[in-house]
Amino acid sequence: VFDHRSVEFTCREGTVVPVERIKNLTVHFTAEFVAKLKARVCARCSTFQCLLAHVWKKITAARGLKPEEFTTVRVAVNCRSRAEPPVPMNFFGNMVLWAFPRLQVRDVLNSSYSSVVETIRDAVARIDGEYVQSFVDFGGVANANGQELIATTVPAGSMLCPDAEVDSWLRFGFHQLDFGTGEPAAFLLPDWPVEGIMFLVPSHKANGGFDLFISIAEEHVATFQQICYLT
């Protein structure tokens, strides 16, 4: 039995600060850098898992959290292929649920990349066909009973610290778009005034690689920039 009301339909209570305190950064990771990260993981891992493990380590370190605190990353999971039967990829609309890898700060910082990747992989694997069907059934029962399901979007200025949220757009073909004048020169996100939000996208740079868009508290920016390429 899955407690969907507590997981997907509970608003997160956190600190709200002036949006000016939240800074939006873009960090570029070359394909060579990612290859080196993957070499540190004994088991096979995806680019997303590898980059998330790295960024989770760095944002946790930059925040200066206490070792015994817990930190959770809300990971968006595409459930099209996980549903039973699978939903076609051309299905219109989002079919996304969330996985919640969770570790103590000391474990995020001190564990190997392999260990952190395994935690992420295990959390995502739990969003399987049974979980997807349970979520669908929950929504159907709630609707039949006239129950209101609350939205969980946090307001501008929210601090997710010590947690974070990540979306992988690594398979989106942004750079293949052509509205009649050729491919786009760049792809940029608007400012996102929620601390701890992260997006991973394919880079448009000539040498490829990947870009991280991250919202971070201004007092953590300098430290994050100093350590984000350390492995």
Higher per-residue pLDDT: 138 or 148:
138
What would the two tokens of residue 153 be?
């979007």
pLDDT above 90 (res 11): no
12: which DSSP letter?
Answer: P
Residue 70, φ and ψ in degrees, nearest 5: -100, 145
Q: What is the pLDDT of residue 207?
A: 76
Q: In angstroms, what CA-CA distances link 56 with 9, 98, 172, 194?
A: 24, 17, 22, 16
pLDDT above 80 (res 33): yes
**To the nearest whole percent, how much of the chain has pLDDT over 70?**
100
Burial profile 148-180: b = 16 or more Cβ within 10 angstroms, e = fewer? eeeeeebeebbbbbbbbbbebbeeeeeeeeeee
The closest of 129, 131, 108 to 54, measured between CA atoms, is 108
What would the two tokens of residue 113 be?
């990349």
pTM for the model stands at 0.93
Q: In angstroms, what CA-CA distances link 205 with 25, 52, 105?
A: 17, 21, 34
* Cross-strand partners of 204: none
16: which DSSP letter?
Answer: B
pLDDT above 70 (res 40): yes
Answer for the pair 3, 198: CB distance below 8 angstroms, yes or no: no
Q: Map out the domains of the chain with their CATH numbers.
A: 4-76+94-120+150-171+182-227 (3.30.559.10)
Q: What is the pLDDT of residue 206?
A: 67
Answer for the pair 79, 132: CB distance below 8 angstroms, yes or no: yes
Residue 19, φ and ψ in degrees, nearest 5: -60, -20
119: which DSSP letter?
Answer: H
Q: What is the pLDDT of residue 219?
A: 98
- 173-224, pLDDT tens digit by residue? 877 888 888 888 777 788 889 999 999 999 987 678 999 999 999 999 999 9
- 55-103, pLDDT tens digit by residue? 999 999 999 999 999 999 999 999 999 999 999 878 888 889 999 999 9
Least confident of 5-9, 20-24, 41-45: 41-45
Q: Give the integer Cα–Cα distance in Å for 151 and 154.
A: 9
Which helix (H) or strand (E) element contains residue 96? strand 96-99
Q: What is the pLDDT of residue 172?
A: 84
Answer for the pair 25, 99: CB distance below 8 angstroms, yes or no: no
pLDDT above 70 (res 170): yes
Q: What is the pLDDT of residue 126?
A: 97
Residues 6+ apart with CB under 8 A from 80: 86, 87, 88, 89, 91, 95
**To the nearest whole percent, how much of the chain has pLDDT over 90?**
73
Q: What is the pLDDT of residue 157?
A: 96
